[in-house]
Structure formats: C-alpha cells, structure tokens
Amino acid sequence: MPQRLSTYLKKTYGEKVYRLSLSSGCSCPNRDNGTGGCTFCSEGGSGEFAIDADNPDICDSIERAKEIIRKKTDARKFIAYFQSYTNTYGDVNRLKELYKKAISQDEIVALSLGTRPDCVGPEVMEMLKELNSIKPVWVELGLQTINEETALRVNRGYSLPVFDDAYKRLKEAGIIVIVHVILGLPGESKADMFETVQYLSDLTPPLDGIKLQNLQILKGTRMYEEYLENPADFKIMSMEEYTDLVAECIALLPKETVVHRMTGDGPRKLLVDPLWSLDKKRVINMLAKKVQIE
C-alpha cells in the first residue's frame, strides 16, 4: 500500500523532517502571459506560506524559517521547499546559485521545487541534474487533471503530452517527481477524477509522490467570480464525500507512490467554500479512519 510522506521521511532520514517554506522570487508564465493564470490560483501563486517573500538573502530566510519551527519542535533536518509560483521560471544562473546556497547547509536534506511541466527545458534540466548530484531534488508538477476539457476550462495552459514529456525527462534525470491533483474541479465527475489518478498510477517508472487536494474556492481568484455567477456549476463535496473519494483514489495508487497531501491547504482568510476544510484536524481524523495507507 502507498505510504504517507511522514512515514517515507522517517524511513529515509531516520527522523522527522520539516519543510521550510521559502520563496525563489519567481513569477509564473501562466500569469505573465496575460491570460490570468489558472482560474483557481490566488495572488500568492498557490502557496501563501513562504517566509520572507521579498528577502533576497536565502540563508537568512532559511534561518528565520528554522527558528519558527524550532519554537515548537526539536527539528534537526529540513527540506528547502519552494512551492509558490513557478520555481524554474527565470534566469537559470540566478536560480542555480539560489538553490545551491539553500542546499549548502548540512541540515537541509532535500530541495523541493514547485513548477510547471512547460518550464523544464534543457537548461533547467541541466540545473536540476547538477543540484540533484548535491542533494535529492523533488520537482512538484501541478497537473490537477488529465482531462483536456477541464484543463482548458481552468486555464492550466499546457496539454497532457507536455506533462508526459516532462515526466519522462525528469525521471530519466533521476529526479523525484510529485504530481498535484485537485479533486472536484468544475465539470468533472467521479469517473473523471479516478481516470486522472489511474493514469498517474500507471506511469512508468512509477510516480514518486502525489498531492491530492479538494477544490477550494478562494477569494480573489477567477474561479471565485465564476462560482458567484454560476454556483450550480460547482459541486462542492461534503467532508464525508471527499474523504470517501480520497480513500478510493489512494487505493488505486501503487505502493511506490508516497502521499504528500490528502486535503486542501488554502489560506484561511481567502477560503470561501468548502468551509469544512478549515477544520483540518477533523478532516485528517476522518481520512485516518477511511484511507488504507502506511
């Protein structure tokens, strides 16, 4: 059966590993191209928790992020985690220097970069290979769905073959790949969502990691406008429905796939629907009862 991220990290690093949410200062081509980006994407670029977004000194940001975690824990190992926006979009030399600095400390055990499959060209691949020879590199790809109609509707801005090609090249380069999927996108049936998860389960080589999350309507997004105009278009699941669905999706995954996330993580102040996802503890407890996972 698939395993949770916490289990994987403990097995791999012998203890609990904490993520430091950092900012690379990158933007996103899907927002810069004038089409407004993915319709569900909030101002923070789908990751509002990065520390010191404007601080040019990455070592300083890392220290501050560590301090925050150490107030509550005795953390000793960390992942340098760049989630917001597209962290391979920009000047490759600048990014290489930034990420090298980030992973130079002994306490940083891995580098995690959120990006898009259309932003891993040859130069970026060379950078990733070089970084991966220093510390393991995880690349997180925001696929969300394999359904091309939905992808167009949410303005994802690339087609499935672009994902397939990026996946193949990243795996050939020895990079750990994690794919994001949103469950409950407008117009999608349960069968559509299973189709996406099954597609990912059938990838060769097997998918390293998956992040599942429920669709969250966030203030300030284009999707929020659509939701206000046409609420009937959005079939927002109840907590029971969602947790049942996650259990079924995880049952489709191969044992090699690590589950990094099972629920939405949108910022409290922006979340409009479903409000049950604010009660993370309850969602996690319900998932724990239903999901077969190590």
Residues that bind ligand SF4 (CB under 6 A): 28, 30-31, 37-38, 41, 45-46, 85-86, 116, 142
Query: Can you read off the two tokens belonging to residue 181?
Result: 């999927």
Residue type for position 27: S
**Is the CB of 2 or the CB of 114 nearer to ligand SF4?**
114
**Is the CB of 87 or the CB of 243 nearer to ligand SF4?**
87
Query: What's the CA gap between 273 and 215, in Å, rounded?
Result: 9
Residues 1 and 294 sit within 8 Å (Cβ to Cβ): yes
Kindly give the residue spans of alpha helices, DSSP state H, lying in 27-183: 29-32, 58-70, 92-103, 122-132, 148-153, 160-172
Residues 92 and 124 sit within 8 Å (Cβ to Cβ): yes
**Is the CB of 48 or the CB of 109 nearer to ligand SF4?**
48
Query: What's the CA gap between 278 and 264, in Å, rounded?
Result: 9
Residues 259 and 209 sit within 8 Å (Cβ to Cβ): yes
Residue 36: which of 156, 182, 180 has the closest Cα? 156
Residue 277 CB, shortest distance to ligand SF4, in Å, is: 18
Residue 126 CB, shortest distance to ligand SF4, in Å, is: 22
**Is the CB of 28 or the CB of 185 nearer to ligand SF4?**
28
Residue 41 CB, shortest distance to ligand SF4, in Å, is: 3
**Is the CB of 3 or the CB of 115 nearer to ligand SF4?**
115
Query: Can you read off the two tokens belonging to residue 229?
Result: 């105009």
Residue 187 CB, shortest distance to ligand SF4, in Å, is: 18
